[in-house]
Every structure is written in structure tokens, then in C-alpha cells.
Structure 1
Amino acid sequence: MSTHAPLDALTFDLDDTLWDNRPVMEHAENGHYAWLDEALAAWHGAHLDREGRYGERFPLAAYQARRLELAQRHPLRRGDFTWIREQTLAELLEEYGLPRSAARMWAAAAIDRFLDLRHRLSPYPEVEALLDDLRGRYRLAAITNGNADLTRLPLAAHFPVRIAAGEMLAPKPDARPFLAALARLGSAPSRALHVGDSWREDVLPASRLGMRVAWIDVHDDPERSLPAGVYRLRHVRELPGLLARLEAAAQGVFTPS
């Protein structure tokens, strides 16, 4: 890996890199499941009298456990989280006693609700201005294992290249999402830097390809040794400082760290 070649492309993870994803997912997880229970109770009183409430028969923990089981049954789809969720709901709703057509209808409606809640997120305050500046100097791409759809977010304007790794059946740490992004950006690994929070899904695959990596160490793991070309940041707001140092190094100019 060349750690001094000038950079022309940046690739970004999304969840927990550009925003805090934990509260977003907690709200979406609880919200869409509660919505489904309430909507089913209001829709089918006779079924409710006979079978009890859906949420009592299949509490949230049962839904979560079934998702893991379904992912094991369909390993090629394990990273397609939206598909996993919808298929799991359809299975549970059939077991609840709904005809298959109704089960699929309600599963799709619940997923629509989930995706609506999942996109009610706020990037870190610095992100909009940061990306606006960077896209004037680098080609930008997003690579995510999650089901955040950038076309539903204002941040889409900054990312002409968007890779949904799970939907392409190659979730990170698979190298293919990174290679696809670089191909669409017209860049090479030696001239690209990846920004992400996961050691396994961001740092390792990007580094192995020869990309440089800005690791957003959200869990504060100072004992982990860093390979050449991997740089530890505490927050994405520190990225401009790192890029300035790398640009200076590419020009043979010394700057203090």
C-alpha cells in the first residue's frame, strides 16, 4: 500500500460513521412492531378474540430471534436486512393465522412503517458542511451494509455513487462493494481512503485492498495496533485534519500530527 500517493476518492460507511445509529434503530424497531400489533388489533376483531393479540403471541424478542434463524436458512441473503425483516414478518403472521396473501400485505405495510422511522435520522452537525467541502476536492461514494436509502435523505446530493452491499448480496467485509465503488468512481485503491467505524467491516477489507482507512473508533479501543495506512479518529469531524496531513505527505511537506 502506498501511504503517500495523492488521494482522489473517498468512500464512506453511513451508520455510526455519519450519524449515531443506535437510537434511530431502537425507535424504528420498537415503533414499527408496535404499529403492526395495534393495526392488526383494529383491523380484525374476530381474529383477535380467537387468537389473542399478535404482539402477545409473538413479542419483539421472538421477531428478533426468528430474523437470526431466517438469515441462517438463507445465507446468501443474510446482509439484505429489509428482505430478512419482511420475510420474517410474513412467516410470523401466517403462524398467527392470517392467509398468506394477508400476511404478505401486512408484512409489507409494517416494513414501510419501519423504513419511514428508520430514515428519521439526523447526521452529526458537522457532516453536511464537511461533505459539501469534500465533494469539491474528491469523488465520493457511500458503502453501507445497512438499509438506509440515501435517496430518502438530503445527504444523497453528496454521493453520486451509492453501494447497498447487502442488497447486492455481498455485505462487508466482502471486497466486492469496495471494488464496485472504486470502479464507479474511476479510482484505484492506492488513491482512495475509506471512512468507517467497524474494524471488521470497514478497516480490514479496505486495508487489504490497499486503500487507506480513517477508522472512527467509536468504542475507544486504544490498545488495537494499526496497520500501515490506517488512521484512528474519534469522530468524523476530525477527517479534514487527517486529509490535510495526507495531502502534505503526498507533496513531501512535513506537518505535525
Structure 2
Amino acid sequence: MTQLTTIGFDADDTLWQNETFFRLTEERFAALLAEHGDLPSIRARLLETEKRNLQFYGFGIKGFTLSMIETALELTDNDAPASLVRDILTFGREMARHPVEPLAEAAETLERLAGRYRLVLITKGDLFDQERKLAASGLGELFQAIEIVSDKTEATYAKVFDRHGDGPARAMMVGNSLRSDVLPALAAGAWGVHVPHELTWEYEHAEAPLEAPRFRRIEGLADLPALIETIEG
């Protein structure tokens, strides 16, 4: 068994709450446009707009806010009042100021692993917002490297684990998204550990690669040290 030396961690909804604030904002957005549809239909329309805009705006609050404005214009046949656009911009600013709530066992788990492995935070999204959340979380000093990337792909993990570790073969990626944290890490040759979160953005959903030899699933971060001991056995 190749010795594990490096562990990558996702940030949003792996180490701290994030999707909760997006869901609450979606509800507020749908309430503004209630005469144009119910919550499920407006959420579905917004999701399609977000997916379409990822190539232009990337991931994060700014792209989400612009997608809300675009969706509002589509739903109102380009007749959205300026006051509605102003309300949406206010929602975006409030999201950018929301408090950071570390998930249970996040700090304790990182502290247990920090002395034995190189810990690397690998997160995607807006640079300014991700830096803000990391600073507010109080977890930054536990990582030997921070990587804020535009997207998470097989190539991303190969480069990050080569740069900050001993390559993907001796690395593990831990996160709540099968699509972004697990599948591309496995494709790069690393271990991929799925830590489900009760709320995960629909875009990040994917089938679990149950047949992959290096795929594992745990119920919470507190289970990670024991899993690693089993793997290194």
C-alpha cells in the first residue's frame, strides 16, 4: 500500500455551511417573483440559468446574483422593475457578509491530522469570498497550502497534489460533492472520500463510484482518522 502523505479538503459544506445561505436566498428570490411561478419552478429556472452562466461567471455568489437578475428578466419578459433588481443585488451583498459556521468536528479532525499529513484546502469559487470565509473560519493555520481554483477537474488535482505533495497516488481528497471532490480526484489517481451534506447543490450531484477501489464514504469528518488508519492498515 502506497503511503498516504497529503490530504485535500473541500471547504463549502465540508468544513463550513454554505448551501444553506443559497437556499434561503432562492426562497427570498422566488417570493419576489411569486406571481410568475412557484418555488420549485423558479428554482429550476434559476438552476438552468446558473448552469448556462458557469462558463462566463464561474462559481460563487457573484455569478449566482447575476443569474438571479437574468432569471428575473426572463420571467418578467424583460420588464423587471429597477426595485426588484436592487433587491436582488441586496441579497447578493447579504450573502457575501454571512457569518461562517464551521461544521461539527471540522477543527478537531483537522487538528488530529495536521501533524501527520500535509493538509491542503482545495476550493472553487470567487477568490475574494473564499478568502473571506477561510479567514473567518479560524481554520486557515491548519493547512500547509491553500488552492482556490476556478473548477475542480482531474488535471486540477494532478497539479495540486504534485505541487503540494508526492503526487495523486499518495493523496486523498475529502468533500461533500461527488462531482467536484470525488470523481475527478479518483480519475487523477488519488483516494476520493465522500462526506455527504444534508444540502448539496443539484449541479454537484452524481452517481457514487461504488466499484472504484479508492472510493470511500463516511458519515462525518469525525470518521476520517479511523478510515485513514484502515486504509493504511
Query: TM-score when scaled to structure 2?
Result: 0.70
Q: Compared with structure 1, are the counterparts of its residues 244 and 79 closer, same or farther at alpha carbon in structure 2 (3 Å cutoff)? A: same
Q: Please say if 1:208 is aligned against 2:187.
A: yes
Unaligned runs of 5+ in 2: 199-207
Alpha-carbon distance in 1 for matches of 2:197, 2:136? 26
In structure 2, give the amino acid aligned to 1:143.
I
Unaligned runs of 5+ in 1: 38-53, 250-257
Q: Compared with structure 1, are the counterparts of its residues 178 and 151 closer, same or farther at alpha carbon in structure 2 (3 Å cutoff)? A: farther
Alpha-carbon distance in 1 for matches of 2:87, 2:171? 43
- 1:153 maps to what in 2? 137
- 1:185 maps to what in 2? 164
SS of residue paired to 1:74:
helix
Shift of 1:141: 1.6
Alpha-carbon distance in 2 for matches of 1:29, 1:154? 28
Pick aligned residue for 1:195 from 158, 169, 174? 174
- 2:119 maps to what in 1? 140
Q: Please say if 1:227 is aligned against 2:212.
A: yes
Q: How does 1:31-110 map to 2 (within 5 A)?
A: 33=29, 54-56=32-34, 61=39, 64-77=43-56, 79-91=58-70, 92=72, 95-98=79-82, 103=85, 107-110=88-91
Pick aligned residue for 1:26 from 23, 28, 44? 23
Q: Compared with structure 1, are the counterparts of its residues 28 and 159 closer, same or farther at alpha carbon in structure 2 (3 Å cutoff)? A: farther
Q: Compared with structure 1, are the counterparts of its residues 95 and 175 closer, same or farther at alpha carbon in structure 2 (3 Å cutoff)? A: farther
- RMSD of equivalent CA atoms: 3.6
- 2:5 maps to what in 1? 8
Residues 17-73 of structure 1: per-residue CA shift (max 9 Å, x gap): 335656454345446x49xx8xxxxxxxxxxxxxxxx55556784763443343354
Q: Compared with structure 1, are the counterparts of its residues 68 and 199 closer, same or farther at alpha carbon in structure 2 (3 Å cutoff)? A: closer
8 Å Cα contact 1:13/1:197 also seen in 2:
yes
- 2:202 maps to what in 1? none
Rg larger for? 1
8 Å Cα contact 1:175/1:209 also seen in 2:
yes
8 Å Cα contact 1:9/1:191 also seen in 2:
yes
Q: Please say if 1:241 is aligned against 2:220.
A: no
Percent same amino acid among aligned pairs?
Answer: 25
8 Å Cα contact 2:7/2:174 also seen in 1:
yes
Q: Compared with structure 1, are the counterparts of its residues 87 and 24 closer, same or farther at alpha carbon in structure 2 (3 Å cutoff)? A: closer
Q: Compared with structure 1, are the counterparts of its residues 152 and 181 closer, same or farther at alpha carbon in structure 2 (3 Å cutoff)? A: farther
Shift of 1:216: 2.8
Q: Compared with structure 1, are the counterparts of its residues 8 and 65 closer, same or farther at alpha carbon in structure 2 (3 Å cutoff)? A: same
